[in-house]
Amino acid sequence: MNDAPPRAASEDMIPNVIAVASGKGGVGKTWLSISLAQAIAQLGNRVLLFDGDLGLANIDVQLGIQPSIDLGTALERQMPLSRAVISYPSGGFDLVAGRSGSGSLASMPINRLQNLAAGLREVSTGYDRVIVDLGAGIERPVRYLAGRAAYCLVVTTDEPTALTDAYALIKMVTLDAGGQGGSLGTALGVPMGVAVNMASSREIGQRTHETLNKACDRFLKRQVPLLGVIRRDPKVRDSISHQVPLLVRHPGSPAASDVEALARRLIEITAPRTGNDPRPAAAKSTARARS
């Protein structure tokens, strides 16, 4: 049974938002969100990193910062989300930190989710790209925020459980959009792509994606293109343990190079809207292919 929240006319996708999601935890989603924010900023974009993991937020922990106003505080006090924006000069981007362990946020009712999306839309106007680090899993807040994004990047590894849960996430977001013939401007709702993290090699990463894509094609009748493979790299663990972004601490590492390539690909397929069509390039090309 599809328990997707009702969709209001004001809840169209936010053109410059890229949601980063995963079916399960432990695949490096938050680390990748941070790294992508910096890589995209280095390409000349104004970037906001938004901690949308409403129950287990930890961007602030990975960056070693303690914001005076986090997302939870802003929501509780009914502040504009702009009050929670802080600058992270080392990475060249701004961020809105979440609040770890807040069950009230993780179980946010639909009206508060709608208010959160409205606040995100408002604060996004000051940026070229907004990277939203979603919580792991397929709970309603994750799917709701994914449905507001112009593009959703699904992060997985080659572990069978990670692949199974990535498929479940893609399936639920597709069903929320109306399944085959969805209502978000493409044949199947929000455009989605895959990043394979912690791969032993690019070839293994590509095979991992093929396994996932075949399942999506067979059972969901949709393609989820491979946007990047991030190779396993001990420099990643080192940067996380030192609470310093990889592109700051180890800018020449293999994983940093892979993240930069992924950032360039994301910029390419989420080009700013043109004319009266608010969809990113990926959505428009998908619609043409299905027509």
Model confidence over 34-46: pLDDT tens digits? Answer: 999 999 999 999 9
Is residue 63 scored above 80 in pLDDT? yes
- Any domain includes 3: no
Q: What is the pLDDT of residues 227-265, one digit of tens each?
A: 999 999 999 999 999 999 999 999 999 999 999 999 999
Query: Residue type at 144?
Result: Y
How far is residue 108's CA from residue 102's CA, in Å, rounded to a whole number? 10
- For residue 113, the Cα-to-chain-centroid distance in whole angstroms is 17
Tell whether the torsion through CA atoms of 178, 181, 185 and 191 is positive or negative: positive
| pLDDT tier for residue 198 given thresholds of 50, 70 and 90 | very high
- Any domain includes 28: yes
| pLDDT tier for residue 104 given thresholds of 50, 70 and 90 | low
| pLDDT tier for residue 106 given thresholds of 50, 70 and 90 | low
> What are the beta bridge partners of residue 133?
20, 51
pLDDT for 182 equals: 35
How much is the average pLDDT of 110-131?
93
Q: Which residue has the higher pLDDT, 281 or 166?
A: 166
Q: Which domain holds residue 108?
A: 14-290
Listed residue (107, 110, 105, 113) closest to 71, CA to CA: 105
The CATH number of residue 251's host domain is: 3.40.50.300
How much is the average pLDDT of 185-206?
86
Residue 236, SS3?
helix
Q: What is the pLDDT of residues 208-217, one digit of tens each?
A: 999 999 999 9
Task: Copy the structure tokens of residue 46.
Answer: 């104004």
Cα within 13 Å of Cα(117), Cβ side:
27
Q: Helices marked H in 198-233 — which ranges?
A: 202-220
- Any domain includes 1: no
Is residue 221 scored above 50 in pLDDT? yes
Highest mean pLDDT among 72-81, 176-185, 228-237: 228-237
- For residue 277, the Cα-to-chain-centroid distance in whole angstroms is 22
- Any domain includes 141: yes
Question: For the chain, how many structural domains are there in total?
Answer: 1
pLDDT for 45 equals: 97
Is residue 179 scored above 50 in pLDDT? no
pLDDT for 99 equals: 72
DSSP E strand boundaries for the chain: 14-21, 47-52, 85-88, 93-96, 129-134, 149-156, 192-199, 226-231
Task: Copy the structure tokens of residue 260.
Answer: 């930069």
pLDDT for 184 equals: 31
- Any domain includes 5: no
- Any domain includes 21: yes
Q: Which single residue is written with the structure tokens 């910062």?
A: 65
- Any domain includes 122: yes
- Any domain includes 209: yes
How far is residue 152's CA from residue 172's CA, in Å, rounded to a whole number? 13
| Cβ proximity of 56 and 103 under 8 Å | no
| pLDDT tier for residue 101 given thresholds of 50, 70 and 90 | low
pLDDT for 285 equals: 42
